[in-house]
């Protein structure tokens, strides 16, 4: 079991504008946090946690069918699935293209998750299944580089024009893959004006979190080539390896 609070110091070094949010998927109601007393969309729950609130929600707390759908707690009405709604919103040209959305969306199986708990990192009372971070480009570069520093893995961003909550919450949990996307792209989040545009939302699943946080403690955050004498450093390395200097 990971004690996420042991890593708070390393994440605090980023000076994020808003705190990272831990997410827990549960089959039974948790006893460590209270149930939220209002209804909202799943993406709005992320915003509420970023604002300092710790809570859990059940199916009755969801004000958007998409959240229930991706958590496996409900089905989508036929006009969503057949594409009429997406085409009507002009997100897609016609129902046939809008209907393809539901062939891509990652969703948790029914009966697996009945409750979802969210908390900002500094109040986290549970080991998260997914840690969600909102970062600027420089912070994102460090986090993504940490994800590939030891392994050389490719960075891959998965997203769709709508139901962005699936790629934020359920995709990392189901696949074990880190995911990221730029705020301002998803229809629901943009329509609700939840997040400043041009930031990156980075979702880190529980099985990657320990190694990524450990790597952040070991690797250089600012690469030598990015420092004021970066070109001189690159030149010395080129000479050392017997390569031709770039023009």
Name 68's Cβ contacts closer than 8 Å, sequence gap at least 6: 59, 62, 74
The number of helix segments (H) and strand segments (E) in the chain equals: 13, 6
Phi first, then psi, for residue 243 (nearest 5°) are -100, 165
Residue 247 forms part of a structural domain: no
Residue 109 forms part of a structural domain: yes
- Rounded to whole angstroms, how far apart are CA atoms 138 and 128? 25
Total number of domains constituting the chain: 1
Residue 195 forms part of a structural domain: yes
Q: What is the pLDDT along the chain (247 residues), one digit of tens a residue?
A: 556 666 678 999 999 999 999 999 999 999 999 999 999 999 999 999 999 999 999 999 999 999 999 999 999 999 999 999 999 999 999 999 999 999 999 999 999 999 999 999 999 999 999 999 999 999 999 999 999 999 999 999 999 999 999 999 999 999 999 999 999 999 999 999 999 999 999 999 999 999 999 999 999 999 888 888 878 887 887 888 888 876 6
Residue 161 forms part of a structural domain: yes
Residue 24 forms part of a structural domain: yes
Range of the domain at 57: 4-240
- How far CA 63 is from CA of 67, 172, 191, in Å, comes to 8, 23, 15
**Positive or negative torsion for Cα 166, 168, 173, 175:** positive
- Rounded to whole angstroms, how far apart are CA atoms 192 and 133? 19
Residue 72 forms part of a structural domain: yes
Residue 246 forms part of a structural domain: no
Residue 94 forms part of a structural domain: yes
């Amino acid at each position: 079991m990971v004690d996420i609070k042991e890593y708070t110091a390393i994440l605090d070094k980023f000076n994020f504008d808003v705190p990272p949010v831990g997410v827990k998927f549960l089959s039974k109601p948790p006893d460590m946090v209270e149930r939220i007393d209002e209804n909202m969309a799943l993406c709005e729950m992320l915003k509420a946690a970023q604002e300092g609130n710790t809570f859990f929600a059940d199916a009755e707390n969801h004000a958007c069918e998409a959240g229930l759908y991706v958590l496996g707690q409900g089905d989508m009405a036929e006009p969503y699935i057949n594409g009429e709604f997406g085409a009507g919103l002009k997100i897609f040209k016609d129902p046939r293209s809008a209907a393809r959305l539901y062939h891509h969306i990652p969703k948790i199986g029914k009966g697996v998750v009945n409750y979802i708990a969210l908390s900002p990192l500094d109040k986290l009372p549970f080991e998260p299944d997914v840690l969600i971070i909102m970062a600027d480009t420089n912070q994102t570069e460090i986090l993504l580089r940490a994800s590939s520093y030891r392994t050389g893995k490719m960075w891959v961003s998965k997203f769709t024009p709508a139901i962005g909550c699936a790629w934020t919450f359920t995709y990392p949990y189901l696949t074990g893959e880190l995911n990221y996307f730029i705020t301002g792209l998803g229809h629901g989040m943009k329509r609700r004006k939840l997040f400043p545009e041009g930031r990156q939302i980075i979702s880190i699943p529980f099985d990657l979190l320990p190694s990524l946080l450990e790597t952040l403690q070991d690797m250089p955050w600012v690469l030598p080539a990015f420092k004021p004498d970066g070109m001189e450093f690159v030149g010395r390395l080129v000479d050392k390896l017997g390569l031709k200097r770039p023009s």
